[in-house]
């Protein structure tokens, strides 16, 4: 199973990549919005962890494209944002995010959400 991690925070990308690989996932990485969209189309990941504040096409634009394209609309998207702006959170929900988590994300919560969206065994969240 491949997870696309789209975030311009290199530290966070490295952390998530290491912990996802430890759980048996393959990881694709995108550091900006354009990369995120093109990688999602190309690699068709099983799920996407998407930071909302990225250069070259914000996470909002990427999320809108993902959820309106027939090629990607079924891919679960967990949106992360460091913003506490209520309007942004409403927009994220309206655009069809499957989960929204505040940054810095509680990683246990993140992996629980990911496991739930992928119907993995709760507790381990490991790929069978």
Binding region for another protein (CB under 8 A): 8-12, 14-15, 18-19, 22, 51, 53, 82-83, 103-104, 107
For residue 31, the SS3 value is coil
Q: How far is CA 69 from CA 62, 65, 75, 113, in A?
A: 11, 6, 10, 23
Q: How near is the Cβ of 52 to another protein at its closest, in Å? A: 11
> Rounded to whole angstroms, how far apart are CA atoms 28 and 48?
9
Nearer to another protein, 44 or 100 (CB): 100
Nearer to another protein, 4 or 52 (CB): 52
Nearer to another protein, 67 or 103 (CB): 103
Q: How near is the Cβ of 9 to another protein at its closest, in Å? A: 5
Q: How near is the Cβ of 56 to another protein at its closest, in Å? A: 13
């Amino acid at each position: 199973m491949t997870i696309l991690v789209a975030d311009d925070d290199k530290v966070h990308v490295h952390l998530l990549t290491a912990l996802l690989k430890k759980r048996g996932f393959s990881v694709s990485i995108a550091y900006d919005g354009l990369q995120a969209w093109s990688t999602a189309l190309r690699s068709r990941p099983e799920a996407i962890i998407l930071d909302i504040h990225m250069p070259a096409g914000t996470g909002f634009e990427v999320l809108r494209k993902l959820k309106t394209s027939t090629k990607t609309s079924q891919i679960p998207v967990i949106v992360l944002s460091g913003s506490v702006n209520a309007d942004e959170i409403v927009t994220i929900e309206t655009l069809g995010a499957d989960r929204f988590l505040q940054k810095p994300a509680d990683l246990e919560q993140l992996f629980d959400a990911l496991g739930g969206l992928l119907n993995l065994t709760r507790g381990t969240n490991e790929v069978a």
